[in-house]
Amino acid sequence: MSISKLKLLSGLEKIASLKTQEEWDNSGLNIDSGKESFEKILVALDVDKLSLQEAIDVKADFMVVHHPLFFNPVTSIREADPTGRLILELIKNNISLYALHTPFDKLVNNTDWTQAQGIGLKDIENLTENNFGVKHFGLTGVYSDNVTLKDVIYKLSEAMDIEPSKIKAAGDFDSSIKKVAIVSGAGSDFILDAKLKGCDLLITGDIKYHEACYGRDLGICLLDPGHFNLEKAFVDLMVERLSILAGEEAVILSSRVQKDPFNIL
The binding site for Fe ion (CB under 5 A) comprises 185
C-alpha–C-alpha distance, residues 126 and 133, integer Å = 9
Facing residues of 62 across strands?
41, 96
Nearer to Fe ion, 89 or 206 (CB): 206
Cβ 45 to Fe ion, closest distance in Å? Answer: 8
Per-residue 3-state assignment (H helix, E strand, C coil) for the chain: CCEEHHHHHHHHHHHCCHHHCCCCCCCEEEECCCCCEECEEEEECCCCHHHHHHHHHCCCCEEEECCCCCCCCCCCCCCCCHHHHHHHHHHHCCCEEEECCHHHHCCCCCHHHHHHHHCCCEEEEECCECCCCCECCCEEEECCCCCEHHHHHHHHHHHHCCCHHHCEEECCCCCECCEEEEEEEECHHHHHHHHHCCCCEEEEECCCHHHHHHHHHHCCEEEECCHHHHHCCHHHHHHHHHHHHHCCCCEEEECCCCCCCCCCC
Nearer to Fe ion, 200 or 211 (CB): 211
Cβ 46 to Fe ion, closest distance in Å? Answer: 9
Cβ 83 to Fe ion, closest distance in Å? Answer: 16
Cβ 186 to Fe ion, closest distance in Å? Answer: 6
Nearer to Fe ion, 38 or 98 (CB): 98
Nearer to Fe ion, 171 or 185 (CB): 185
Cβ 227 to Fe ion, closest distance in Å? Answer: 6
Q: Among all residues, whose Cβ is closest to Fe ion?
A: 185
Cβ 95 to Fe ion, closest distance in Å? Answer: 21
